[in-house]
Chain A
Amino acid sequence: MSAITGVRPTAARAPSERPRRRSGGGAATRLWRASPLTYITLVLTIALSAFPIYWMFVVATRTNAVVGDVPPPLLPGGNLGENVGRLLAARDANFAKGLLNSAIAASAVALSTVFFASLAGFAFAKLRFRGRNALLLVVLATMMVPVQMGIIPLYMIMVRLGWAGELQAVIVPFLVTGFGVFMMRQYASQAVPDELIEAARVDGCSTFRIYWNVVLPALRPAAAVLGLFTFMQTWNEFMWPLAVLNPDNPTVQYSLSQLASAYFNDYTLMFAGTLLSTIPLLIVFFVFGRQIIGGIMEGALKA
């Protein structure tokens, strides 16, 4: 997938909540209080962060006639519906199909990664078996290997299987990642008490029932973060779909690249596409933003 994952060298945990700003002005308060300059810097940064996304929206709601105006239009217009209509009618891009394909592929990869990674993470963290440490090292090592560079034989495999151009070609190779396994292993070893598993064993639970009824519920927070990240990563995958799929059956990023080459003067059409391809991710972000930030800050997350 798009990037290699790694383990952050320092296991930094946020210290206990910083004290609310105290009244009075102790030395510590003066030291840690954010100056107005800090606020100005941060607000400017956020404005720069948000502007391209806002600009997407502005252009997507305008007509092509005014996009090149000087000064540029900075407020949205009323042409969004029309632009989206033209976008969906643009044959070469197959945009609707791209959106649907990406939704299917990203959901499938996210669900399967969470399932297989939590299963393997549980085994590595809580079950005793011969070769466990060596096998875990192998998992870690795979995280350092840029497997994208195997793209040519991977393509040949897909041709052999008859999967070139089919959606499963962008799903099956990514069903589970070493990063996911390692992340779930780390979380499971501290979130699931051994006594709980022993107790379930004594009650006669099979190993899978222990996983399903005891471990998986305890892993839910980490599973959610892993699922979100995997979803976003698959949604953003570009090189592999470009190699193995075709314009008749694209993912959303592939559709966008088709738009960019076939309609490069039709900005409002392209921007309507960029907007639609970003909205699902924005929704995910605004609903789960806290968890995503926590996931990045607590562990080695790399989308």
Chain B
Amino acid sequence: MGVDLRPTRQRPRPAATTRPAGATERARWRSRIDRLDVKASPYLYIAPFYLVFAVFGLFPLGYTLWVSLHDWELIGKGPFIGLANYAQLLGDPYFWNSILNTIGIFVVATVPQLVLALMLANALNRWLRLPTFFRMGVLLPMVTSVAAVAIVFGQLYARDFGMINWLLGLVGAENVDWRGSKWASWIAISTMVDWRWTGYNTLIYLAAMQAIPRDLYEAAAIDGASRRRQLWQITVPMIRPTIIFTVIISTIGGLQLFTEPVLFERSGHMAGGTLRQFQTVTMFMFENAFRDHDYGYGAAIAWMIFCLILIASLVNFLIIRRLGGTK
């Protein structure tokens, strides 16, 4: 087997004369590929995002508008009815009820949540032993599975044997039917949302607080400002852009609140209680589209939520612009 199978490096003379031509051809080919690589690669690399977004994000969103102009009880079957779905929607008391619930829960949840996050961030901004331990502890609720939270709180808020009512009983209060009325259910759902998200907002605020120059506080302390005054007169104004950011994020999330109230209800009916006391607008959309298979009506609701979110974001954005707080 002593045969050398490798291609001979030194070719006979005639071949050698043609070699430079082949090499230049190959080099030209190579450089053409290189140029193509340099030119096309960026587009190729960013294409998957645009493709996925166009097909599964933008197109469905736009098509929602089209669907909302139809009376579709079956997918793709039904007459064009113009704005009739919207007209019906604006006269539908259940729709306005769900808007009221959504905004109610949003306010009851968000205001205490952000104030609490501010206080906690202020505490975490001190010199602490075990800072990582405290930060992880504050963030812990965010990493629980979302349906699990709703189920656990649902049990804690049970009317007859729930721990919350037991604790209230210790201080002499009557049992509260947490699913029974608007306010009670709003409060219960808000605590679930707050339990889960306060820690996240705390860390956002903490990051912003750490960027505030420390000598501001030292100067204020020399002037005799108390810690509380330092918080409201130095910290809050300095992190205002961040506060507005968390308000925007909470608004967008709050207007789409779904999982917590659905699992708080437990039956999966999407009605938000017997009298719809905690049916959010997203639940209302889901109920119409996926339980009653009234896709046209559901799409009209979805489009209204979309517009609500856009308006809310725009208002927030204008406030930021006016305050001139962002970079």
Chain A bound to chain B: yes
Chain A interfacial positions (CB closer than 8 Å to B): 2-4, 6, 8-15, 18-19, 21, 27-29, 31-35, 38-39, 41-42, 45-46, 48-50, 52-53, 55-56, 59, 67-68, 70-72, 116-117, 119-120, 122-124, 127-129, 132, 135, 138-139, 142, 144-157, 159, 172-178, 181, 206-208, 211, 232, 235-236, 238-239, 242-243, 252-253, 256-257, 259-261, 264, 267, 270-271, 273-275, 277-278, 281-282, 284-285, 289-290, 292-293, 296-298, 302-303
**Interface positions of B from 179 to 224, Cβ below 8 Å from A:** 195, 199-200, 203-204, 206-208, 210-211, 214, 217-218, 221-222
Report the bound CA distance from A238 to B270 in whole Å.
13
Interface residues of A: mostly helix, strand, loop or mixed?
A: helix
The reply to whether A293 and B298 contact each other, CB–CB distance below 8 Å, is: no
Report the bound CA distance from A152 to B59 in whole Å.
11
Report the bound CA distance from A76 to B252 in whole Å.
39
The reply to whether B46 and A282 contact each other, CB–CB distance below 8 Å, is: no
Contact residues in A for B217 (Cβ distance below 8 Å): 31
Contact residues in A for B105 (Cβ distance below 8 Å): none
Report the bound CA distance from A273 to B132 in whole Å.
30
**Chain A minimum-CB-distance residue to B251:** A4
Out of B53, B135, B244, B325, name the residue touching A142 (CB < 8 Å).
Answer: B53
Q: List 28 A-B contacts (CB under 8 A).
A: A6-B248, A9-B327, A10-B208, A12-B242, A33-B127, A42-B124, A53-B140, A71-B166, A123-B41, A142-B53, A145-B57, A145-B58, A147-B57, A157-B59, A174-B56, A176-B48, A211-B45, A239-B282, A242-B262, A253-B146, A256-B145, A256-B148, A273-B148, A293-B203, A297-B203, A297-B206, A297-B207, A303-B200
The reply to whether B138 and A120 contact each other, CB–CB distance below 8 Å, is: no
Q: Mark B42-76 against chain A: 1 for CB-CB distance below 8 A, else 0.
A: 11011011101101111111111001000000011
Report the bound CA distance from A2 to B206 in whole Å.
24
B81 within 8 A of A: no
> Number of B residues contacting the other chain (C-beta, 8 Å)?
110
**Chain B minimum-CB-distance residue to A131:** B43
Q: Mark B151-172 against chain A: 1 for CB-CB distance below 8 A, else 0.
A: 1111110001101001000000
The reply to whether A120 and B67 contact each other, CB–CB distance below 8 Å, is: no
A203 CB to closest chain B CB, in angstroms?
13
The reply to whether A119 and B266 contact each other, CB–CB distance below 8 Å, is: no
B15 within 8 A of A: no
Out of B64, B119, B211, name the residue touching A149 (CB < 8 Å).
Answer: B64
The reply to whether B49 and A120 contact each other, CB–CB distance below 8 Å, is: yes
The reply to whether A148 and B256 contact each other, CB–CB distance below 8 Å, is: yes
Out of A153, A270, A273, name the residue touching B63 (CB < 8 Å).
Answer: A153
Given the known interface contacts A145-B57, A236-B145, A236-B146, the answer about A34 and B126 at a Cβ–Cβ threshold of 8 Å is yes
Given the known interface contacts A52-B153, A207-B38, the answer about A278 and B148 at a Cβ–Cβ threshold of 8 Å is yes
**Chain A minimum-CB-distance residue to B30:** A204
Report the bound CA distance from A293 to B248 in whole Å.
21
For A117, A132, A176, which residue has the most chain B Cβ atoms within 10 angstroms?
A: A176
Contact residues in A for B275 (Cβ distance below 8 Å): none
B317 CB to closest chain A CB, in angstroms?
9
Report the bound CA distance from A281 to B239 in whole Å.
31
The reply to whether B135 and A293 contact each other, CB–CB distance below 8 Å, is: yes
Report the bound CA distance from A21 to B128 in whole Å.
9
Chain B interfacial positions (CB closer than 8 Å to A): 37-39, 41-43, 45-46, 48-50, 52-53, 55-64, 67, 75-76, 119-120, 123-124, 126-128, 132, 134-156, 160-161, 163, 166, 195, 199-200, 203-204, 206-208, 210-211, 214, 217-218, 221-222, 239, 241-242, 244-245, 248-249, 252-253, 256, 258-259, 262-263, 266-268, 282, 286, 289-290, 295, 298-299, 302-303, 305-306, 309, 313, 320, 325-327
Report the bound CA distance from A284 to B207 in whole Å.
22
The reply to whether A156 and B76 contact each other, CB–CB distance below 8 Å, is: yes
Report the bound CA distance from A67 to B126 in whole Å.
40
The reply to whether B57 and A142 contact each other, CB–CB distance below 8 Å, is: yes
Out of A4, A14, A32, A49, name the residue touching B207 (CB < 8 Å).
Answer: A14
* New A-B pairs, 5, CB < 8 Å, besides A117-B49, A147-B60, A157-B55: A70-B161, A150-B62, A153-B59, A293-B136, A297-B206
Given the known interface contacts A32-B126, A38-B123, A45-B120, the answer about A278 and B145 at a Cβ–Cβ threshold of 8 Å is yes
Q: 8 smallest A-B Cβ distances: which pairs?
A: A150-B60, A274-B148, A68-B161, A46-B137, A173-B56, A34-B126, A9-B241, A153-B60
The reply to whether B61 and A145 contact each other, CB–CB distance below 8 Å, is: yes
Report the bound CA distance from A148 to B152 in whole Å.
26
**Chain B minimum-CB-distance residue to A261:** B268
B263 CB to closest chain A CB, in angstroms?
6
B126 CB to closest chain A CB, in angstroms?
4
B95 CB to closest chain A CB, in angstroms?
15
B212 CB to closest chain A CB, in angstroms?
9
